[in-house]
Structure 1
Amino acid sequence: MRRYLPSLSALHAFEAAARYMNFTRAADDLGLTQSGISRQIRNLEEFLGATLFHRSGPRLVLTETGANYYRNLALTLDRLEEISIDAVRGRSVDSSLMIGTHPTLASRWLPERLGAFIGSYPDIPLEVMPAMPSTDFETTQLDVAILRGVGTWLHARSIELFPEVLAVVASPALIPPGSKLDPLQFAEFPLLQNAGRPSLWLNWLRLAKLSYSGRIQGTRFAHHEMIINAAIHGLGLAVVPTFYIRQEVANGQLHMPFGEPVQSDDSYYLVYPERKFHNPNVIVFRDWLLRSLRKA
């Protein structure tokens, strides 16, 4: 018998639209036009005999049927992707460990530790991918993630690894080392902004118990890796987590002219989907990471 299945194109269009809650962004993601996305979703709704979206003013909202369909479809598409990858590379995704984290953590903090893990567990292939605090752990294909937050993610378990500590740093080319500056003098220098964390300067002021009412503006960069490099080149002051810049501070590329670091309200956590609680590779990585941090 012929299977009762809608077209894969329609499923792709619906999954992207539900993920972004925006037809235009879904169209950009899939390389289609907005009208093409609308047409595919209309065809899918006609096939299912159900309404998947409705409008609430300017916002796009999933119906209850649409929300349930999206939740199950995302898992199904993830699984379909996994078995397709298995066919290409000749091994099961289940044998590997997929780790998600912030781009800067993935490039600065994680690699220096993964060598020890690979040496101890050479039979567990690793894949490192970008992940955000907004990761949906009900549908994600990640096995574990290392994320900044307050420790609460839906459909996931989390273990605190270490608190976040923030510092204002500068290049010696911008401010000579040994300069004695009042913390509020930060406003006299160009500032670097984190587009992903636009309130970092305000957070630093609050945590440092400084009263400042002026404007805070400056060149914006996408994430900490870009900001650190910009600070090293003297483009401005930056607020960054101290564990990212230990080497740069130690070798004098950056220094802290406005006082000691301050602990933020966030910490970094090991997070993994509730459904993967018994996954043996997750257990091995979790226990190894906690042991290695205790020894550090």
Structure 2
Amino acid sequence: MKKSLPSRSALIAFEAAARHQSFTSAAAELTLTESAISRQVAALESQLGIKLFHRIKKRVTLTKAGLLYSQQVRASLLQMEQDMNNIMSHGGAREILELAVLPTFCSRWLIPRIGSFYQQYPDITINMSARSVIFLFKETSFDAAIHFGQPNWPGTVADFLFPEEVVAVCKPDLIPSGFLTNPEDIQNYALLHLTSRPDSWCNWCENAQISSVNSMQGAHYEYFSILISAACAGLGVALIPRFLIADELEKKQLIIASNVPMKSTDGYYLVYPEDSLSSNSVKKFRMWLLNQ
């Protein structure tokens, strides 16, 4: 027999109690009585057949199972709220384009330009969500994605946008002379890394024809936006695509530390399922983006 799912009210009561580690605080947040929270949690424990809280006098603490379940319930409730907001945004006459984007590309390149798209197409709304890895479109709600790499995303069409040139940069006062005349001197500075590109400094050293540098030493950061902030803070030298730091270079917040060429064989692409050009919003966004 199929088991019934816990009620949403019981899950909400449990999540609040778990987050606060207190039935009293959960009751205050949800404008319920403490006894109502206690009954909801007890009913949930009875349905699951698992004890979620240790009850010691008037104090409650999560059991190991309760801690694990609270994390899962919190994520599920947040996803339900996001799904509700997403579907509500599709109401009305506006067309919606769901776009997966690279986080720093989005904030540094796409967002500053997207206003011109809305001027041309005021009836289209673009929802943007961060994605850094390849996924199956049929398993998501995305209509298109901005991709960095090779145009080998299965089941999609890939439109080339532009290539990438990476430069070694740092805060100006990190290198008083303003430039490393000998690339091998890079070994005197902390190297800052992007987690998703662990071989970048190794490739840079190979291009510079130097082998004495420990290219793996230094801190790692998940996104280019964090890497840029670390470089601007003087934490070391970073390899960053030139187009992402045009403002920092112009304002002298960052300088090019060594002019070793690093042109990537990968590039930026707009990718979308093969049948997506039948979508008016995808077709118009594609035309606008390629013009950019």
Normalising by structure 2, we get a TM-score of 0.68
Q: Does 1:228 align with 2:223?
A: no
Structure-2 residue corresponding to 1:109: 109
Indicate how the Cα distance of structure 1 residues 126 and 8 shifts in structure 2: closer, same or farther if over 3 A, else same: farther
Indicate how the Cα distance of structure 1 residues 159 and 241 shifts in structure 2: closer, same or farther if over 3 A, else same: same
1:263 maps to amino acid: K
Indicate how the Cα distance of structure 1 residues 120 and 267 shifts in structure 2: closer, same or farther if over 3 A, else same: same
Structure-1 residue corresponding to 2:181: 181
Q: Does 1:31 align with 2:30?
A: no
Q: CA RMSD in A?
A: 2.9
Which ranges of structure 2 fall in alignment gaps of 5 or more residues?
Answer: 7-66, 74-78
Structure-1 residue corresponding to 2:211: 212
Deviation at 1:180, TM superposition (A): 4.1
Indicate how the Cα distance of structure 1 residues 87 and 258 shifts in structure 2: closer, same or farther if over 3 A, else same: closer
2:126 maps to amino acid: L
What is the alpha-carbon distance in structure 2 between the residues aligned to residue 254 and residue 286 of structure 1? 33
3-state SS of 1:138 partner = helix
Indicate how the Cα distance of structure 1 residues 90 and 128 shifts in structure 2: closer, same or farther if over 3 A, else same: closer
Q: Deviations over 1:155-208 (max 9, x none)?
A: 1110110011111101112113533421121111011111222122123233x2
Q: Is the 8 A contact 2:93 2:123 kept in 1?
A: no
Q: Is the 8 A contact 2:90 2:96 kept in 1?
A: no
What is the alpha-carbon distance in structure 1 between the residues aligned to residue 136 and residue 282 of structure 2? 18
3-state SS of 2:219 partner = strand
Structure-1 residue corresponding to 2:160: 160
Structure-1 residue corresponding to 2:272: 272
Which ranges of structure 1 fall in alignment gaps of 5 or more residues?
Answer: 10-26, 34-77
What is the alpha-carbon distance in structure 2 between the residues aligned to residue 210 and residue 257 of structure 1? 16
3-state SS of 1:290 partner = helix
Look at both structures and tell me which one has the larger radius of gyration over its CA atoms: 2
3-state SS of 2:228 partner = helix
2:161 maps to amino acid: L
3-state SS of 2:226 partner = helix
Q: Does 1:150 align with 2:190?
A: no
Deviation at 1:31, TM superposition (A): 3.0
Q: Is the 8 A contact 1:95 1:125 kept in 2?
A: yes
Q: Is the 8 A contact 2:94 2:124 kept in 1?
A: no
1:187 maps to amino acid: Q
What is the alpha-carbon distance in structure 2 between the residues aligned to residue 157 and residue 254 of structure 1? 37
Indicate how the Cα distance of structure 1 residues 6 and 239 shifts in structure 2: closer, same or farther if over 3 A, else same: farther
1:31 maps to amino acid: Q
Residues paired across the two proteins, number: 224
Indicate how the Cα distance of structure 1 residues 90 and 217 shifts in structure 2: closer, same or farther if over 3 A, else same: closer
Q: Does 1:98 align with 2:138?
A: no
Q: Percent identity?
A: 33
Structure-2 residue corresponding to 1:243: 243
What is the alpha-carbon distance in structure 2 between the residues aligned to residue 177 and residue 32 of structure 1? 53
With 220-229 and 171-180 compared, the bigger mean Cα shift is at 171-180
Deviation at 1:30, TM superposition (A): 8.5
With 190-199 and 161-170 compared, the bigger mean Cα shift is at 190-199
